[in-house]
């Protein structure tokens, strides 16, 4: 079975528009302005779910979907954020929380989830021209991926599960959370099939490329450790399908040091390796001979990051070329030191001349415990990636 990339982009757009409607509902009910950061979709396995939701405690509202679109939807907040939301909702309705107890707070969050998810789903029903029924909302509390429905976790163990995630954040209040939609696998693959004229990828190849991404991140982490002597660990590595326009915003406005590479071959594209400033200096000092050190970003740090980035990138893409049975080359490293959005915007602008969406490999490597971090963003040309994956021999 194949996935038409245009259909995947259409459903991503529906999820993004649905998240905007959900944000409006919250703004009306709680009197706060919300912004939709980004909406992405991934075909995730059990291990990716474990990495994505690890070490966090959640409060959520879960609703099942039936009819024209089957599956589950979840409004999930980390526990501290849930307390903020509860207070905002109670203040908006002049409810005395101390006298009513937690039952009122839970019911207010549950009803909010019901309203927000209803707005989130409406556009899907219109697009599919069919009725989508929702089960009654259920308030949940859980740690890690258990905040998601059992059916979704079980599906992730088998063939994987499509995970739509829309991140919402308050514009004038410290509040952020996610809306998740997990459609039933087989029905959704049918909806994504499009027609034979489309730009299609065999659905099982998405998990193949996901594994390549994880392997590439592991190789990159090993290179950092070998060249610096620092402990490294791949915290999370995930293949996401996102609107290109949302990538710079997702990287954010923190200051980063790193290198940008252009990839040529099949697939072409870009690979960006970014370190926070402290990590860049730590790594550069660990690579320098003798007692040579820098306390700020200078020529020695630039040289060290370019050398390390060059080796990391070669290891990252070698696995792609071997499995895809293609040749992939990369340009010399282009050193960057700027805000994340400013670094990513030119990359997205170049790739955006050919496509509106991208499969983005987003890998985070922990350095020296939690003392530092490296983020790797790989953005292959979607059409060339589809062609390379489709050309692989059939799997049993």
Nearest of 389, 365, 374 to residue 272 by alpha carbon: 374
Q: What's the mean pLDDT in 271-295? A: 85
Structural domain containing residue 334: 207-390
Q: What's the mean pLDDT in 326-331? A: 94
Note the pLDDT tens digit of each residue in 114-149.
999 998 998 898 888 999 999 999 999 999 999 999
pLDDT over 60 (residue 396): no
Asked if 146 and 170 sit in the same domain, the reply is yes
What pLDDT was estimated at residue 96?
57
Q: What's the mean pLDDT in 199-224? A: 82
What pLDDT was estimated at residue 99?
47
Q: CA 347 to CA 344: how far, in whole Å?
A: 5
86 domain-assigned: yes
**Is the Cβ–Cβ distance between 177 and 168 less than 8 Å?**
yes
Token digits for 317?
Answer: 């893409």
Q: Which helix (H) or strand (E) holds 396?
A: none
If DSSP codes are grouped into helix, strand and coil, which group holds residue 337?
A: strand
**Is the Cβ–Cβ distance between 218 and 376 less than 8 Å?**
no
Asked if 226 and 77 sit in the same domain, the reply is no
Asked if 64 and 139 sit in the same domain, the reply is yes
Q: CA 16 to CA 241: how far, in whole Å?
A: 12
Asked if 180 and 141 sit in the same domain, the reply is yes
Task: Look at 204 and 4; give whichever has higher pLDDT.
Answer: 4
Q: What is the CATH number of the domain that holds 381?
A: 3.40.1550.10
Q: CA 354 to CA 360: how far, in whole Å?
A: 15
Task: Look at 15 and 90; give whichever has higher pLDDT.
Answer: 15
Note the pLDDT tens digit of each residue in 231-279.
988 877 788 899 999 899 889 899 999 999 999 999 999 999 999 999 9
Q: Which of 132, 164, 192 is where one domain is finished? A: 192
């Amino acid at each position: 079975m194949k996935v038409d990339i245009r259909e995947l982009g259409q459903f991503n757009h529906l999820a993004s528009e649905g998240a905007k409607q959900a944000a409006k509902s919250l703004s009306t009910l709680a009197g706060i302005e919300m912004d939709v950061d980004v909406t992405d979709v991934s075909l995730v396995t059990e291990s990716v779910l474990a990495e994505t939701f690890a070490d966090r405690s959640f409060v959520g509202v879960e609703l099942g979907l039936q009819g024209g679109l089957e599956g589950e939807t979840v409004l999930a907040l980390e526990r501290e954020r849930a307390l903020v939301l509860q207070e905002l909702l109670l203040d908006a309705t002049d409810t005395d929380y101390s006298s009513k107890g937690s039952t009122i707070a839970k019911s207010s969050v549950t009803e909010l989830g019901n309203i927000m998810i209803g707005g989130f789903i409406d556009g899907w029903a219109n697009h599919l021209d069919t009725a989508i029924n929702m089960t009654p909302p259920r308030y949940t509390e859980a740690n890690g991926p258990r905040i998601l429905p059992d059916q979704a976790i079980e599906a992730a163990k088998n063939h994987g599960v499509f995970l739509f995630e829309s991140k919402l954040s308050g514009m004038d209040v410290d509040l952020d959370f996610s809306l998740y939609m997990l459609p039933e696998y087989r029905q959704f693959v049918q909806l994504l099939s499009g027609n034979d004229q489309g730009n299609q990828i065999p659905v099982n190849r998405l998990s193949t490329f996901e594994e390549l991404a994880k392997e590439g991140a592991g190789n990159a982490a090993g290179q950092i450790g070998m060249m610096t002597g620092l402990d490294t660990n791949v915290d999370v590595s995930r293949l996401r399908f996102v609107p290109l326009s949302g990538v710079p915003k997702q990287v954010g406005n923190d200051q980063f040091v790193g290198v940008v590479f252009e990839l040529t071959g099949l697939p072409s594209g870009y690979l960006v390796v970014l370190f926070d400033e402290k990590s860049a200096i730590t790594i550069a000092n660990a690579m320098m001979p003798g007692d040579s050190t820098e306390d700020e970003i200078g020529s020695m740090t630039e040289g060290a990051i370019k050398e390390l980035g060059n080796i990391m990138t070669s290891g990252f893409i070698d696995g792609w070329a071997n499995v895809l049975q293609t040749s992939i080359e990369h340009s010399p490293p282009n050193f960057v030191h700027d805000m994340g959005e400013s670094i990513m915007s030119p990359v997205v602008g170049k790739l955006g001349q050919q496509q509106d969406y991208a499969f983005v490999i987003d890998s985070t490597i922990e350095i020296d415990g939690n003392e530092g971090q490296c983020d790797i963003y790989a953005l292959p040309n979607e059409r060339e990636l589809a062609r390379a994956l489709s050309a692989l021999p059939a799997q049993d």
